[in-house]
Structure 1
Amino acid sequence: MGETEPTTKTRHRLTGALAVLFWIGVWQVASMAIASEFILAGPIDAACALIRLIPSSAFWEHVGFSTLRIVGGTVASYILAIALASLAWRSRVARTLVSPALSAIKSTPVACVVVVLLIWFGSVNVSAIAVFLMALPGVYFSMLKGLDELDRHLVELFDLFRARTVVRLCALIWPGVMPYLIAASETVLSMSWKAGIAAELIGVPDGSIGERIYQAKLLLETADLFAWTIVVVALAWVFERAVLALMRGSWPALGRWAARRGDAADASAPRDTHLAAEHLVVGHRGHAACPALDMNMHAGEVLCLMGPSGAGKTTLLDTICGLLAPLDGNLRIPTDTRYAAVFQDIRLVDELSAIENVRLFATTDTDARAMLAELLPDDALDKPVRELSGGQRRRVELARAFAAPADIVALDEPFGGLDRATHETALAFIARHRDERILIVSTHDEGDALALGAPILRIG
């Protein structure tokens, strides 16, 4: 029988603690062998010095001085790095201008940077500025990489449903970039303390931890030097663990918060939309997917697309929804038209529940639970959708498409993975909730057209 996760974590912590005790023992033995506190104070000597320092107000003033500047510089670097990476993600010009400068900063030795900063700014805030410059490139390049690697299909989903900025940030961008930021932070957060203390050792600002370490070195107070070093290591460890815990704990909490807010700035009823296509040619990279098509639809009308796999049904739906540009012909749809869709491939935020996935794009007054209850068993509504079957996930997408405010709904093989009973349930759901929307359904079953009372457009 395999170990449970808590047991594994306990074993790792115990192993780590034993390793630390082993090296403390080696340190103590080495100190005893050298037998000179001036050359190598042992852990007991360092502990005694630390116990002597902690009760004094001066100790906490020094800790506060350095902590304020190092943490402040780190936070400022994260804010600017995330802003610059977001700008570079959207603008190739910005990426071209910013990346070389940050690459140069990343390659410059900290000591050289500190010397220049001392000349320009003096010693009081040199640690804050040094930390800021050290952390900036690491966070920037990681954030930019995360943005570049966002799931293209989810980006299309959020674009098509016109998700508001807060929903996009909390449920798409943050979970996408978070692994990259965490990986960078595991290095940057501890390095920020090393860079900050190094800057203080060079600049020796009054009232800093770096000043106390420098003074301990001059006076050969080796035990004090080790005591202050232990303080720095402890502060760096606590800071790193706190920030990483905050990052890891933010997801999926942020997504759930965004889902509770609801979306759709424009929550009005479906409009009197029309769709007209004349000799419309759709395809990819200049290659037509099917012969030219003509269509003319108004609010409340339904059309079923039928044809063999690869005939161009998905390409046509993507073109109607604005995800692809037509190759030729005319496609006329009002510019303010709102869309919703069920894509051929499943596109859900896996860490969120069925209800939360629907609420991300639904209006605040939509009863997502009631809509989902028409399609799913009660015990599936609050589970993360990654735990649902393929057919259940497909039904979540169907509910999401009709919960969102839309004038045109495109359903690309929405009944895939459904047995006959759930297929009929889904058809009945569509009939109840289609309202005055234009509805276009890609299907292989002529019975779907009959059930929806829809004409068939054969493609291919």
Structure 2
Amino acid sequence: MDKNTPIDKKMTSAHALIRCAPIIFWLAVWQMASMLDGSGVLLCGPLDALLALCRLSCTQAFWSSICFSTLRIVAGVVGGYLIAAVLAAASWHARAVRTLLQPALLVIKSTPVACVVVILLIWTGAANVSVITVLLLVVPAIYFALCTGLDNMDASRRELFEVFGMRGQRRFFALIWPAVLPYLEAASSTVLGMSWKAGIAAELIGVPTGSIGERIYQAKLLLETPDLFAWTFCVICLSWLFEHGAIALLRGTWPRVARFALKTPRSGAAEARGDCGACKARLCAQGLLIGYGDKPLCESLNFSLGPSSCLCLQAPSGAGKTTLLHTVAQLQRPLGGTIENTARKRSMVFQDTRLVEDLDALDNILLFASPDLVRDEVRSLACELLPKDALSRPVCELSGGQRRRVELARAFAAPGELVLLDEPFGGLDAQAHSCALAFVKRHGAGRIVVFATHDANDAQALTAQVLEL
């Protein structure tokens, strides 16, 4: 038996006592205040409230009221989240929609709940006033949180998904969801608790039959202070459980949703990769000028590549290798000349590491893999570059060289007719470098491969044309 177990138990008991001490303190203050009042009308004690709660909980009317209010408040929250998500998506895709919605949502956000409830009572009656009140509270808060998350999405991660042509569920769950989740959690921690306050306040004003608000209102009229405190305690507990349960649910979605997305068919799955040797893609440039603003980084470029072609870009740092690759990948526009790219699909290894850090190495490759490759085939492909034990580890735990090899495997597992590699062998030791070169030569057959490197021997190993910038 562990000798430290008794000590650990004592420490646990001490921590539990410390955490309970403030609650015990305030319960004592409450009891003393009720004793000073004496009448029990203005303020009852905690024991009286507990006895009232026990008495009420034995009746069917108590649980009916709990269900009545809970269903309406939850319905308002869910409806608010859905409407906010739709409006945020529309605003993200069209700036005019955001401009149009901004003043209306700011007005709704700033209007006092009591005023909203009175207006809704005139328009809709009392039965569903809490649903609409909660919905109007939730929509602006969640909408602005989602818009902020979308606006602050990692640009480099977004470029990764653009280059690989990722659409549909995988794009949503692996790119958009982790970007908005922190903002959604922050907004939810406020709005979920407030939804119960607003919903019960609406019921207190509208007094719909069978609601918690009606029970609280009756307790106030009849001066049943213990019942009033008992119902208030119920609302606090329901609000706490709902808020913490919903936030725990939100936090638990990532990275589970990304793994779930891997089990769904990829958008465009009908277009299988097929035989790379049948690829008819071409990449041609004439008088191509690359750079930023109005300043070219090098002289005009000319090249023509077809299937099974390999082009090596060689130049000092800052001469334009990365800029040329980004231009070919359509991440930026050329300054002049023409570039013809008939490849329907492309993949890329970027100069900086771009991986989904919370997924393991194999899932990072599967996320972008060709639809016609099953999991075992992707695993076999990855094992050509990586040890088997590395495939099941989160990529954030891998070494720099292993992370680079994950990206290299991902580029060739994708259904790209054009593969762009920016310093793909950086950080690799001699053995891993040699293995990676063999991998590129083996899987580049039938594709157009353009890669940038500082090592002149790489071009010779891959039998590549050399373009010096």
* TM-score category of the 2 structures, normalised to the smaller one: over 0.9
Query: Structure 1 residues 29-38 or 221-230, which shifts more?
Result: 29-38
Q: Given that residues 262 and 360 in structure 1 are in contact (C-alpha distance below 8 angstroms), is that contact kept between their aligned partners in structure 2?
A: no
Q: Which of 312, 335, 356 is residue 327 of structure 1 equivalent to?
A: 335
Q: Given that residues 128 and 196 in structure 1 are in contact (C-alpha distance below 8 angstroms), is that contact kept between their aligned partners in structure 2?
A: yes
Equivalent pairs, count: 452
CA shift, 1:35, in A, is: 1.6
CA deviations 1:234-259 (Å, max 9, x no partner) are: 11111111111111111110111122
Q: Which of 415, 418, 425 is residue 425 of structure 2 equivalent to?
A: 415
Q: 1:351 — aligned with what?
A: 358
Q: Which of 146, 150, 158 is residue 147 of structure 1 equivalent to?
A: 150
Q: Does 1:340 align with 2:313?
A: no
User: In 1, distance between residues paired with 2:391 and 2:235?
Assistant: 48
User: In 1, distance between residues paired with 2:295 and 2:141?
Assistant: 42
Q: Does 1:424 align with 2:434?
A: yes
Q: Assess, with a 3 A threshold, how the Cα gap between structure 1 residues 23 and 113 changes in structure 2: closer, same or farther.
A: same
Q: Which of 277, 280, 285 is residue 277 of structure 1 equivalent to?
A: 285
Q: 2:311 — aligned with what?
A: 303
Query: Structure 1 residues 100-109 or 261-270, which shifts more?
Result: 261-270
- Structure 1: which amino acid aligns with 2:427? G
Query: Structure 1 residues 280-289 or 164-173, which shifts more?
Result: 280-289
CA deviations 1:295-326 (Å, max 9, x no partner) are: 10001100100000000011100111111111
CA deviations 1:372-392 (Å, max 9, x no partner) are: 111112221111100111111
- Structure 2: which amino acid aligns with 1:377? P
Q: Assess, with a 3 A threshold, how the Cα gap between structure 1 residues 12 and 378 changes in structure 2: closer, same or farther.
A: farther
User: In 2, distance between residues paired with 1:180 and 1:14?
Assistant: 34
Q: Which aligned pairs between 1:25-44 and structure 2 lie closer than 5 A?
A: 25-44=28-47
SS, match of residue 359 in structure 1: helix
CA deviations 1:66-109 (Å, max 9, x no partner) are: 01110000100000001111111111101101111111111110
Q: 2:295 — aligned with what?
A: 287
Q: Given that residues 276 and 296 in structure 1 are in contact (C-alpha distance below 8 angstroms), is that contact kept between their aligned partners in structure 2?
A: yes
Q: Assess, with a 3 A threshold, how the Cα gap between structure 1 residues 264 and 115 changes in structure 2: closer, same or farther.
A: closer
User: In 2, distance between residues paired with 1:91 and 1:264?
Assistant: 23
Q: Assess, with a 3 A threshold, how the Cα gap between structure 1 residues 332 and 86 changes in structure 2: closer, same or farther.
A: same
Q: 2:56 — aligned with what?
A: 53
Q: 1:369 — aligned with what?
A: 379
Q: Which of 262, 269, 275 is residue 259 of structure 1 equivalent to?
A: 262
SS, match of residue 428 in structure 2: coil
User: In 2, distance between residues paired with 1:442 and 1:71?
Assistant: 55
CA shift, 1:17, in A, is: 3.4
CA shift, 1:10, in A, is: 9.6
Q: Given that residues 308 and 446 in structure 2 are in contact (C-alpha distance below 8 angstroms), is that contact kept between their aligned partners in structure 1?
A: yes
CA deviations 1:398-441 (Å, max 9, x no partner) are: 00000000110000001111111111111111111112110001
CA deviations 1:173-196 (Å, max 9, x no partner) are: 111110100000000000000000
Q: Does 1:447 align with 2:457?
A: yes
Q: Which of 116, 121, 125 is residue 122 of structure 1 equivalent to?
A: 125
CA shift, 1:15, in A, is: 4.5
Q: Given that residues 310 and 465 in structure 2 are in contact (C-alpha distance below 8 angstroms), is that contact kept between their aligned partners in structure 1?
A: yes
- Structure 2: which amino acid aligns with 1:327? L
SS, match of residue 372 in structure 1: helix
Q: Given that residues 263 and 359 in structure 1 are in contact (C-alpha distance below 8 angstroms), is that contact kept between their aligned partners in structure 2?
A: no
Q: Does 1:312 align with 2:352?
A: no
Q: Assess, with a 3 A threshold, how the Cα gap between structure 1 residues 167 and 107 changes in structure 2: closer, same or farther.
A: same
Q: Assess, with a 3 A threshold, how the Cα gap between structure 1 residues 414 and 264 changes in structure 2: closer, same or farther.
A: farther
SS, match of residue 429 in structure 1: helix
- Percent identity of the aligned residues? 53
What TM-score results when the alignment is normalised by the length of structure 2? 0.94
User: In 1, distance between residues paired with 2:221 and 2:336?
Assistant: 80
- Structure 2: which amino acid aligns with 1:311? A
Unaligned runs of 5+ in 2: 1-9
- Structure 2: which amino acid aligns with 1:268? R
- Structure 1: which amino acid aligns with 2:318? G
Q: Assess, with a 3 A threshold, how the Cα gap between structure 1 residues 78 and 124 changes in structure 2: closer, same or farther.
A: same
SS, match of residue 409 in structure 1: strand
CA deviations 1:167-225 (Å, max 9, x no partner) are: 01111111111010000000000000000000001111111000100110111101000
What is the root-mean-square deviation of aligned Cα atoms in Å? 1.7
CA shift, 1:46, in A, is: 0.6
User: In 1, distance between residues paired with 2:291 and 2:190?
Assistant: 46
User: In 1, distance between residues paired with 2:464 and 2:43?
Assistant: 87
Unaligned runs of 5+ in 1: 1-6
Query: Structure 1 residues 156-165 or 123-132, which shifts more?
Result: 156-165
SS, match of residue 344 in structure 2: coil
CA shift, 1:264, in A, is: 5.6
Q: Given that residues 308 and 447 in structure 2 are in contact (C-alpha distance below 8 angstroms), is that contact kept between their aligned partners in structure 1?
A: yes
User: In 2, distance between residues paired with 1:68 and 1:235?
Assistant: 12
- Structure 2: which amino acid aligns with 1:420? A
Q: Assess, with a 3 A threshold, how the Cα gap between structure 1 residues 221 and 145 changes in structure 2: closer, same or farther.
A: same
Q: Does 1:399 align with 2:400?
A: no
CA shift, 1:37, in A, is: 1.0
User: In 1, distance between residues paired with 2:191 and 2:369?
Assistant: 39
Q: 1:208 — aligned with what?
A: 211
Q: 1:244 — aligned with what?
A: 247
User: In 2, distance between residues paired with 1:394 and 1:431?
Assistant: 17
CA shift, 1:143, in A, is: 0.6
SS, match of residue 261 in structure 1: coil
Query: Structure 1 residues 95-104 or 402-411, which shifts more?
Result: 95-104
CA shift, 1:27, in A, is: 1.1
Q: 1:87 — aligned with what?
A: 90
User: In 2, distance between residues paired with 1:52 and 1:142?
Assistant: 42
Q: 1:3 — aligned with what?
A: none
SS, match of residue 360 in structure 1: helix
CA deviations 1:34-67 (Å, max 9, x no partner) are: 2221010111111000000112110111111101
User: In 1, distance between residues paired with 2:52 and 2:155?
Assistant: 56
